Structure 1
Amino acid sequence: MFLFSLILSFLSLSIYILLRRTGQRRGRLPPGNLGLPLIGETLQLISAYKTENPEPFIDDRVGRYGSVFTTHLFGEPTVFSADPETNRLILQNEGRLFESSYPGSISNLLGRHSLLLMKGSLHKRMHSLTTSFANSAIIRDHLLLDIDRLVRLNMESWTGRVLLMEEAKKITFQLTVKQLMSFDPCEWTENLMKEYMLVIEGFFTIPLPIFSATYRRAIQARRKVAEALSLVVRDRRRATERGEIKNDMLAALVDEQGGFSDEQIVDFMLALLVAGYETTSTIMTLAVKFLTETPLALVQLKDWDNSIYGSGTKVINNMR
């Protein structure tokens, strides 16, 4: 929940521009405070977003410096904008006056070929491929069935007290792996998820391996995840040469005309694992929460589900 809240706040409340210290950028920065050397104000931001009321980190600085202020986050000097007009200007001129960027610490964890970091023709190719796959008959024909099967599989193992958010994350990860590589839940996917969780923890910590054991573990885990995915990519290439066909995202990447390197495919898949993990699981959790609190809406949803699939065939009918 913390990761989702932090990303959501960054996107909805502000657009931040990472300013690298180059000889070409010596303009006057907005007022603010760069905080401690190397660390900046990262600890204050992380601490704020682990509380029930994270807004004061932004509100306090807006009150002191104005809606556009300078700070230092995740190893980078940063201009933080909480001004709607400024944000609109940035979004409307991305790629012209402004260039999308991420802190180096996040780049290290995502990989240099991540879709979030790509630019130019390669980004267009990857984006087009992703969009085409998401709208393909493969997704339409199998996605709902996979969701239903994985939800049922996990619900059957529930005993005693259930932490819904954690279960939603588990289901989301399993579903993403299934769509990417056609792997059903197994020991390999469980081990992959353990390492992946360590990578996620590294996104919002002090990005200095010397000072942060969390970031150090994240870098090591990222290496293990990349190695595991690289083996899958190599095995898939050999299987494709033998004429074996899979209907998943990896198949689309391997078969793409012009070809992608193994490193590009691995970085791309890792980014897709990250992209939907927190957001999807959070939406799933909130859906259950609000349906539980609104019995009439739950009844209407069950009726709609039964009208399409028939009584007793879907997980919705098992909700209490």
Structure 2
Amino acid sequence: MWVVVYLSAVLLVVATQWVYRWRNPKCKGLLPPGSMGFPIIGESIQYFSSHPLEGIHPFINKRTLRYGSLFRTSLVGQKVVFSTDPEVNHFIFQQEGKLFQLWYTESALKLTGKQGLTVHHGAFHRYLKNLILTLVSPENLKASLLSEMDHLTRKHLHSWTALPKFDVKEATETMIFKLVAKKVFSYGEKRAMELRHCYRAFIDGFISFPLNIPGTAHHASMRGRKNAIKLIKGTVKERRGMKEKHGDEDFLDYLLKEVDDESTFLTEQIAVDLMFVLLFATYETTSAAITLALNFLNQHPQALRQLQDEQQKIVASRENKDSPITWKEYKSMNFMHMVINETVRLGNIAPLILRKVMADVRLKGYTIPAGWTVAVCPSSVHLSADKYEDPLAFNPSRWNGQELHSASKKFMAFGGGQRLCAGADFAKMGMAILLHYLVTNYRWKVVEEGKIVRTPALLFLNGFQIQLTSLTD
């Protein structure tokens, strides 16, 4: 009896000390205020709870009001300091590779691969980013991708008119994935869709507990990754075994040349992980932004009319009204780019931008220990009344006279610093082409508006379904 009581007392003391140490982490200074939540779980449940699209995440808003612009917490097993301060955010981006480096949750790192883009830093990261830019750089967009995306968009829009209704997010995901799979692997539609199926569960497991057991989001995502990597490696092996050239050079050909060049960093495994992440990064965010843009335009007819007027003037100035969009026309779409900026400002498709602290750093009188993670919160800046008048309103004209194609202290929809998204121009061009043809050649009717929530990823519950009618047939 006394043994049981003694052991129970010892376990209680050990558990109490463990909880105390969890809630009061060691620091050579003053930690930002906040709560670490329960051991291991932290405050993950509160952060991952769904909330409406409009406004700042209640989790962040509540803690900012209570603790200030810097507060500590724990998410999915990681010690995190949130920053809602524009000046601090700017400092973090400027100190990339010095005091901070790119970081993701453990689940995201496992999904993107041990040799993926997310784990490399410094010169190696710049090298990998330059590889991606050979595919999506402004020069390549102008030289080939503009015309290819134009053709594919018109083809899909025409096919969608035959449907009684379709989900915009799903349809545009598929369209973009086909284009990128063709550019990367020279895949036809059948092989592209086979690979596309592997990515179905990827977004749900990207920011989750890294529990690789059946029934969890992480397990489903890892299974999808395994199947996708198998297909990609099969394509690499097939390409290696070809005795004759398969056609025009694609991104895989380019990467394999780099792999075979002994003077480069690239290995075949790194190339495979790079292609795997590239496919996800291009279709997921762009399709979400397109769907949000249509949702906002549907709710704001005046902005829609302004966009129609601008785009119809472009069509009217052509000798041939059916000519594809030219680079000059694309660059002249000022209001279009205002719509895009306003969409991604309100959408905050990337809910957090994470950086790992490389050495103890002092910020605003607090100390963040090495090994912790800082989370830059774009929404807290994008939706701030101090930075934007009537910040929750969709008002593209607020961008009139402002720089439309770069990041700033108050606009970080495409990241910031050295890690500015390499695919930003690709995403914006994809949005512009589809919206151009929608407002000039078609009329759409919203059949099911659904509900948009964050978990923190954007979810389009019941989809955003429209019916499309051609104005030119």
Alpha-carbon distance in 1 for matches of 2:139, 2:87: 41
How far apart are 1:108 and its partner, in Å? 0.2
Match in the other structure for 1:285: 291
Please give the per-residue CA displacement for 1:59-98, whole angstroms capped at 9, x wherever unaligned: 1111222211111123311111112222122111111122
Identify, as 1 or 2, the structure richer in helix: 1
Match in the other structure for 2:441: 318
Distance 1:70 1:56, change over 3 A: same
Amino acid corresponding to residue 150 of structure 1 in structure 2: L
Residues 116-135 of structure 1 aligned to structure 2 (within 5 Å): 116-135=118-137
SS across alignment from 2:189: coil
Alpha-carbon distance in 2 for matches of 1:75, 1:310: 59
- 1:195 aligned residue (195, 198, 219): 198
Amino acid corresponding to residue 93 of structure 2 in structure 1: L
How far apart are 1:36 and its partner, in Å? 2.7
How far apart are 1:173 and its partner, in Å? 1.6
Gaps of 5+ in 1: 1-20
Distance 1:223 1:130, change over 3 A: same
Alpha-carbon distance in 2 for matches of 1:53, 1:212: 32
Match in the other structure for 1:270: 276
Alpha-carbon distance in 2 for matches of 1:283, 1:305: 24
Please give the per-residue CA displacement for 1:82-118, whole angstroms capped at 9, x wherever unaligned: 1222212211111112222111110000012222321
Alpha-carbon distance in 1 for matches of 2:138, 2:92: 33
How far apart are 1:139 and its partner, in Å? 4.4
SS across alignment from 2:117: coil
Match in the other structure for 2:371: none
Alpha-carbon distance in 2 for matches of 1:138, 1:54: 37
Please give the per-residue CA displacement for 1:253-278, whole angstroms capped at 9, x wherever unaligned: 11123363321111101111122223
- Retained in 2: the 8 A contact 1:205–1:212? no
How far apart are 1:26 and its partner, in Å? 4.6
SS across alignment from 2:79: strand
Please give the per-residue CA displacement for 1:160-199, whole angstroms capped at 9, x wherever unaligned: 122212212222222221222222322x222221211212
TM-score normalised over the length of structure 2 = 0.56
SS across alignment from 2:81: strand
* Alignment partner of 1:27 is 2:33: no
Distance 1:290 1:103, change over 3 A: closer
- Retained in 2: the 8 A contact 1:112–1:118? no
Distance 1:236 1:49, change over 3 A: farther
- 2:174 aligned residue (170, 174, 179): 170
* Alignment partner of 1:301 is 2:311: yes
Alpha-carbon distance in 2 for matches of 1:84, 1:52: 20
- 1:160 aligned residue (148, 161, 164): 164
Amino acid corresponding to residue 93 of structure 1 in structure 2: Q
- 1:98 aligned residue (76, 97, 100): 100
How far apart are 1:50 and its partner, in Å? 6.1
Match in the other structure for 2:361: none
- Retained in 2: the 8 A contact 1:180–1:249? yes
Match in the other structure for 1:6: none
How far apart are 1:209 and its partner, in Å? 2.6
- Retained in 2: the 8 A contact 1:70–1:78? yes
Alpha-carbon distance in 2 for matches of 1:161, 1:276: 25
- Retained in 2: the 8 A contact 1:291–1:297? no
TM-score normalised over the length of structure 1 = 0.81
Distance 1:141 1:95, change over 3 A: closer
Alpha-carbon distance in 1 for matches of 2:134, 2:67: 45
- 2:74 aligned residue (53, 72, 75): 72
How far apart are 1:290 and its partner, in Å? 5.7
Specify which structure has the bigger relative contact order, considering alpha-carbon pairs within 8 angstroms and separated by 6 or more residues: 2
Residues 242-261 of structure 1 aligned to structure 2 (within 5 Å): 242-256=244-258, 257-258=261-262, 260-261=266-267
Amino acid corresponding to residue 196 of structure 2 in structure 1: M
Alpha-carbon distance in 2 for matches of 1:139, 1:252: 17
How far apart are 1:210 and its partner, in Å? 4.0
Alpha-carbon distance in 1 for matches of 2:240, 2:214: 40
SS across alignment from 1:183: coil
Distance 1:290 1:199, change over 3 A: closer
Gaps of 5+ in 2: 1-21, 325-436, 444-473
Distance 1:120 1:159, change over 3 A: same
Please give the per-residue CA displacement for 1:121-172, whole angstroms capped at 9, x wherever unaligned: 3222212222233338664343233223332443314511222122122222
Match in the other structure for 1:206: 209
Alpha-carbon distance in 2 for matches of 1:211, 1:70: 32
Distance 1:280 1:48, change over 3 A: same
Percent identical? 31
